């Protein structure tokens, strides 16, 4: 039989209940099924999250039926927006320039003396990065070049795309995460395994990971191909590794 369930939302920030209001919802859940809902509301007095003042908030969802609490779930988050407009990054509507780094260890995080503002590294965990305002792009894609057997394996690429989307669902509420890495030196080195034709196919398939993320969430998310340039003119941003500085 179907069950009638009420969903209530409460938002706290710095120990005080926020005026941000997400209206309660009543939904019908058939036996043995999963129901997804979308809920939104005005931000009220929520303070925005910025790296120099990384204030967090907590959303608690409570499910009840016939006046009895069935379950509850709490999730910390940061109230902020990060958008890519052309070639400009906008944080909370303001343009920002970022200095990226790799192998950026926790002892470098705290004071920020090296000037690094965004990194692929998540050593110490996302909760730490949230707390200290260190921005991060999370790797969710392909980590190496593949031979033709894997290139032609549609189930392999389906699983890569599915994993990428699930990772965004799981980690997307962390305000430190501003983008998603869809590859790491995969496209660049594909030419040595499969030639030019294989490299082209790599670019198409890796780009499909970014497309799947954007199509699922309907939001202009920043996707980067780490060390894979712009995936053969497919992405708006280029990433180089091991630049010759001589």
Q: What is the arithmetic mean of pLDDT over 207-216?
A: 95
What integer pLDDT is reported at residue 106 of this predicted model?
65
Q: What is the pLDDT of residues 114-160, one digit of tens each?
A: 788 888 888 778 998 999 898 999 999 877 888 999 999 999 999 99
- pTM to 2 decimal places: 0.88
Among residues of the chain, what percentage have pLDDT more than 90?
66
Of 110 and 193, which is predicted with more confidence?
193
Token pair belonging to 23:
């209206």
Q: Round the CA-based radius of gyration of the chain to a whole number and report it.
A: 21
What integer pLDDT is reported at residue 112 of this predicted model?
73
Report the alpha-carbon distance of residue 223 to residue 235 in Å, rounded. Answer: 8
243 pLDDT more than 80:
no
Among residues of the chain, what percentage have pLDDT more than 70?
96
Cβ(44)–Cβ(59) under 8 Å?
no
What integer pLDDT is reported at residue 246 of this predicted model?
47
Q: What is the pLDDT of residues 34-80, one digit of tens each?
A: 888 889 999 999 999 999 999 999 999 999 999 899 999 999 999 99
Max mean pLDDT range (3-17, 91-105, 227-241) = 3-17
How much is the mean pLDDT over the chain? 90
30 pLDDT more than 50:
yes
What integer pLDDT is reported at residue 37 of this predicted model?
87
What integer pLDDT is reported at residue 2 of this predicted model?
85
Of 181 and 101, which is predicted with more confidence?
181
What integer pLDDT is reported at residue 38 of this predicted model?
87
Strands 135-142 and 57-65: unpaired
Report the alpha-carbon distance of residue 171 to residue 177 in Å, rounded. Answer: 8
């Amino acid at each position: 039989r179907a069950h009638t369930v009420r969903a209530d939302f409460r938002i706290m920030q710095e120990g005080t209940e926020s005026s941000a209001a997400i209206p309660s919802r009543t939904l019908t859940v058939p036996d043995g099924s999963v129901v997804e809902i979308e809920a939104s509301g005005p931000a009220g007095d929520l303070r925005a999250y910025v790296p120099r003042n990384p204030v967090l908030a907590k959303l608690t969802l409570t499910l009840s039926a016939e006046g009895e609490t069935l379950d509850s779930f709490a999730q910390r988050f940061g109230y902020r927006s990060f958008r890519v407009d052309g070639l400009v990054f906008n944080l909370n509507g303001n343009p920002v320039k970022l200095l990226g780094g790799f192998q950026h260890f926790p002892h470098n995080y705290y004071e920020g003396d090296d000037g690094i503002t965004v990194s692929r590294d998540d050593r110490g965990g996302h909760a730490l990065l949230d707390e200290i305002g260190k921005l991060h792009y999370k790797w969710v894609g392909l980590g190496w070049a593949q031979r033709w057997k894997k290139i032609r394996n549609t189930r392999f690429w389906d699983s890569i795309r599915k994993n990428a989307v699930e990772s965004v669902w799981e980690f997307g509420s962390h305000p430190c995460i501003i983008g998603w890495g869809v590859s790491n030196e995969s496209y660049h080195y594909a030419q040595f395994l499969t030639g030019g034709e294989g490299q082209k196919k790599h670019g198409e398939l890796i780009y499909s990971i970014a497309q799947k993320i954007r199509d699922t969430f309907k939001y202009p998310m920043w996707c980067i191909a780490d060390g894979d340039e712009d995936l053969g003119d497919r992405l708006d941003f280029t990433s180089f590794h091991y630049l010759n500085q001589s």
